[in-house]
Chain A
Amino acid sequence: MKLEDKKRVLREMVLARRFEERCYQAYMERKIGGFLHLYPGQEACCIGVMEAARPGYDYVITGYRDHIHAIKCGADPKEVMAELYGKETGSSKGRGGSMHIFDVKHRFMGGYALVGGPFPLAAGLGKGIQMKGGDEIAICFLGDAANNQGTFHETMNMVALYKLPVLFVCENNHYGIGTAIDRSTAVVDQYKRVCGYGIESAQCDGQDVEVVYEHARRAVDYVRSRKGPYFLELITYRYRGHSMSDSRSYRSREEEEMWKKRDPIFILRDRLIEAGALTQEEFHKLEKEIDDYIENEVVRFAEESPEPDVRDLEKYVLADRETQLPWLTGKVA
């Protein structure tokens, strides 16, 4: 990674962290409802992988922990926050919420709340790419626990069989809600689970964004050059609970502290400071700048945006009637 890229990535990771922490606050103020799954601790995963891919060009799909993935693809943080607030200006017009962020113009194909649900959809994106003949790839980010769903196995078989251009990124944060991975999964190393399907795979540190980037580059190249699908496992940790109702009683303070010593933001920050490319003051200034942006632009936009009109309750259930009339009436000119 070039120096200027590292600085930009640091900035993006700080934005990701602060955005999520601000969501936490808004949730406590009851501005955000429903389930809210936050990303602090895992920033290097999505951001490192997408550095190696082409955000806004490659198709990305993921689960419910999706705000940062959307933003990294190009979604406006203002619209993502407005979505969390349930506003009409939200990225899904207030119909989706935290678990269903969509930004199709940036090829962020959505967050989905059913664990394992996106696997086959990613295969389908790969199929669409295959038929259209471009050089895009599809990238599917999911957690480790999702790999125990049947869809994981059905999908791995199909993508290998049809040689679909899909990169699977497993963000292994060691827990599926409150169940530790070694209590739910027979083989803890996730990258080994695709060997039976003949899929190339690797495992790496998910806390060091440069390590993620290097591994992702190889994986992305492999998929983009149409050698087949690829499965990349990133070893990471989420600092907060699974969702807002989670007290984290299932894991120890020591474990959490240990992981916080390997914070993805601090790893990169310290490396830049050591290299003389950044000072402690500059970093604080960056944090302050981002906080101001989130407060004055992002949150403010969400707060001030209108709610959806209740008269539009049934909008978006089916396609627009007018354009569909020929098929609905059978009267085709």
Chain B
Amino acid sequence: MAEMMYWEAIRRAHDEEMARDPMVICLGEDIGVAGGTYKATKGLYEKYGPLRVIDTPISENGFTGLAIGASFIGVRPIVEIMSVNFAWLAMDQIFNTAAKVRYMSGGQLAAPIVIRSPGGTAHQLGAQHSARMEKVFMGVAGIRVVTPSNPRQAYGLLKSAVRCDDPVFINEHELMYNMKGEVPDQEYFHPLEGSEIARSGTDVTLFGYNISVHWCLKAAEILDKQYGISAEVVDLYALSPLDREGIRRSVAKTHRAVIAEEDEGPVGVGAEIMAIINEECFFDLDAPPVRVHSANVPQPYNHKLEQAAIPDHEDVVNAVLKLFGKS
């Protein structure tokens, strides 16, 4: 198994799927000649040409709609939206068309597109370049939401998403493109549903996805070494549909839950997981579940304010300590 970076894993998935199926295309701003803002499409323009690797104008709603229309008649587009903040501009086409067309056509038409986009707080990018949108996507019927926390998932999820007949939103993270990890040498498909136990434990479950999985893993180590608390980390790489059964199973085992997300808390991923725990595991709980999330502010530019707004592994540790009455 070779190590590769998150962006290399995504690039490899693009390349393999484009080589396999001539109807797979990719499009987005700067993805062709320039090779992609995050290099996820590097070299593909040279290999597959301008008809299949399409540099688009800065028209998010327009080119997303174009991809959807093409997908109606057999094209399998992978759309890169440069930053998830700009996906707001494409909401009409994503939610009003891609997510609904199968239903409102009575199953006659579908939009099997993949939308990849990085979200999250990077380095002082300010409010309009630091948003997360996964909670918005997962709140809408008709579109799948997945979010890779490592290169293996990034590779395998894109492979599965391209072949799936549903629209799939892949939430990546600004800070993760250079993260290294092992990716199987042979072709690998990561499931679009379910969750993974990233670390097994017995005393508390830490739920994370994408970057927050890494806070949870780090927190679990600290909890183990310094406090003798055994934390299980569940990686919810699929946000829609959520793995209710996986959530239930882990909480039934540990009896405690902390949910960590980088997004603002209200109406968030954590709120949804809390609701599931409440519905499915109420009598398994030894303590009320706790959420760790950003402050409810647009991301500030100032570095100190920015760091104060978003959570990290220490917040996860503190949340667990609170659960155990140790803070």
A188 interfacial by beta-carbon distance below 8 Å: no
Report whether A127 and B70 are in contact in the complex, using a CB–CB cutoff of 8 Å: yes
| Shortest distance between the CB of A292 and any CB in chain B (Å) | 29
| Shortest distance between the CB of B218 and any CB in chain A (Å) | 27
Hey, which chain A residues are within 8 Å of B62, CB to CB? 119-120, 123, 150-151, 154-155, 157-158
Report whether B107 and A323 are in contact in the complex, using a CB–CB cutoff of 8 Å: no
Hey, which chain A residues are within 8 Å of B59, CB to CB? 154, 157-158
The number of chain B residues touching the other chain, given as a range, is: 35 or more
Hey, which chain A residues are within 8 Å of B288, CB to CB? none
Q: How far is the CA of A157 from the CA of B92 in the complex (A)?
A: 19
Q: How far is the CA of A138 from the CA of B92 in the complex (A)?
A: 21
| A121 partner, pick from B97, B105, B188, beta carbons under 8 A | B97
Q: Which of A101-120 contact B (CB under 8 A)?
A: 102-105, 109-110, 112, 114, 117, 119-120
| Shortest distance between the CB of A87 and any CB in chain B (Å) | 11
Q: Which of B295-321 contact A (CB under 8 A)?
A: none
| B63 partner, pick from A93, A125, A158, beta carbons under 8 A | A158
B141 interfacial by beta-carbon distance below 8 Å: yes
B68 interfacial by beta-carbon distance below 8 Å: yes
Hey, which chain A residues are within 8 Å of B25, CB to CB? 131
Report whether A124 and B66 are in contact in the complex, using a CB–CB cutoff of 8 Å: yes
Chain A residue nearest in CB terms to B71? A124
B56 interfacial by beta-carbon distance below 8 Å: yes
Chain A residue nearest in CB terms to B62? A154
B51 interfacial by beta-carbon distance below 8 Å: yes
Most buried by A among B57, B59, B68, B104: B104
| Shortest distance between the CB of A112 and any CB in chain B (Å) | 7
Report whether B61 and A120 are in contact in the complex, using a CB–CB cutoff of 8 Å: yes
Whether A120 touches B191, Cβ cut-off 8 Å, given contacts A109-B109, A110-B109, is: no
B96 interfacial by beta-carbon distance below 8 Å: yes
B17 interfacial by beta-carbon distance below 8 Å: no
Report whether B104 and A157 are in contact in the complex, using a CB–CB cutoff of 8 Å: no
Q: How far is the CA of A102 from the CA of B64 in the complex (A)?
A: 21
Whether A102 touches B109, Cβ cut-off 8 Å, given contacts A59-B73, A124-B68, is: yes
B280 interfacial by beta-carbon distance below 8 Å: no
Report whether B73 and A121 are in contact in the complex, using a CB–CB cutoff of 8 Å: no
Whether A122 touches B165, Cβ cut-off 8 Å, given contacts A90-B106, A128-B74, A316-B103, is: no
Q: How far is the CA of A316 from the CA of B109 in the complex (A)?
A: 10
Q: How far is the CA of A194 from the CA of B105 in the complex (A)?
A: 31
The number of chain A residues touching the other chain, given as a range, is: 35 or more
B201 interfacial by beta-carbon distance below 8 Å: no
Chain A residue nearest in CB terms to B58? A154
Counting residue pairs across A and B whose Cβ atoms lie within 8 Å, the total is 183
A3-11, A31-39, A48-56, A324-332: which one contacts chain B?
Answer: A324-332
Report whether A95 and B73 are in contact in the complex, using a CB–CB cutoff of 8 Å: no
Report whether B73 and A128 are in contact in the complex, using a CB–CB cutoff of 8 Å: yes
Q: How far is the CA of A92 from the CA of B61 in the complex (A)?
A: 26
Hey, which chain B residues are within 8 Å of A122, CB to CB? 69
Q: How far is the CA of A332 from the CA of B184 in the complex (A)?
A: 15
Report whether A124 and B102 are in contact in the complex, using a CB–CB cutoff of 8 Å: no
| Shortest distance between the CB of A20 and any CB in chain B (Å) | 21
Report whether B64 and A132 are in contact in the complex, using a CB–CB cutoff of 8 Å: no
Q: How far is the CA of A324 from the CA of B162 in the complex (A)?
A: 12
Chain A residue nearest in CB terms to B60? A154
B204 interfacial by beta-carbon distance below 8 Å: no
B125 interfacial by beta-carbon distance below 8 Å: no
Hey, which chain B residues are within 8 Å of A150, CB to CB? 61-62
| B92 partner, pick from A114, A129, A320, beta carbons under 8 A | A114
Report whether B65 and A328 are in contact in the complex, using a CB–CB cutoff of 8 Å: no
Hey, which chain B residues are within 8 Å of A331, CB to CB? 189, 191
Cβ contacts B123-161/A at 8 Å (1 or 0 each): 000000000000000000110100000000000100011
Hey, which chain A residues are within 8 Å of B109, CB to CB? 102, 104, 109-110
Report whether B73 and A161 are in contact in the complex, using a CB–CB cutoff of 8 Å: no
| A318 partner, pick from B52, B144, B190, B194, beta carbons under 8 A | B144
| Shortest distance between the CB of B239 and any CB in chain A (Å) | 14
Whether A330 touches B160, Cβ cut-off 8 Å, given contacts A92-B106, A323-B165, is: yes
Report whether B189 and A326 are in contact in the complex, using a CB–CB cutoff of 8 Å: yes
Whether A330 touches B102, Cβ cut-off 8 Å, given contacts A114-B96, A158-B63, is: no
Cβ contacts B30-64/A at 8 Å (1 or 0 each): 00000000000000000000011010110101111
Q: How far is the CA of A89 from the CA of B290 in the complex (A)?
A: 49
A310 interfacial by beta-carbon distance below 8 Å: no
Report whether B166 and A124 are in contact in the complex, using a CB–CB cutoff of 8 Å: no
Report whether B57 and A158 are in contact in the complex, using a CB–CB cutoff of 8 Å: yes
Chain B residues within 8 Å of A, Cβ to Cβ: 22-23, 25, 51-52, 54, 56-57, 59, 61-75, 92-93, 96-97, 101-110, 112, 141-142, 144, 156, 160-161, 163-166, 188-194
> Known pairs A121-B68, A326-B189. 10 more at Cβ < 8 A?
A93-B106, A102-B109, A104-B105, A109-B69, A110-B109, A120-B62, A123-B66, A128-B70, A157-B62, A317-B141
8 A–B pairs (Cβ distance < 8 Å), ordered by A: A105-B108, A124-B66, A124-B75, A125-B69, A129-B73, A151-B61, A154-B59, A318-B166
Chain A residues within 8 Å of B, Cβ to Cβ: 59, 61, 90-96, 100, 102-105, 109-110, 112, 114, 117, 119-132, 138, 150-151, 154-155, 157-158, 161-162, 315-320, 323-324, 326-332
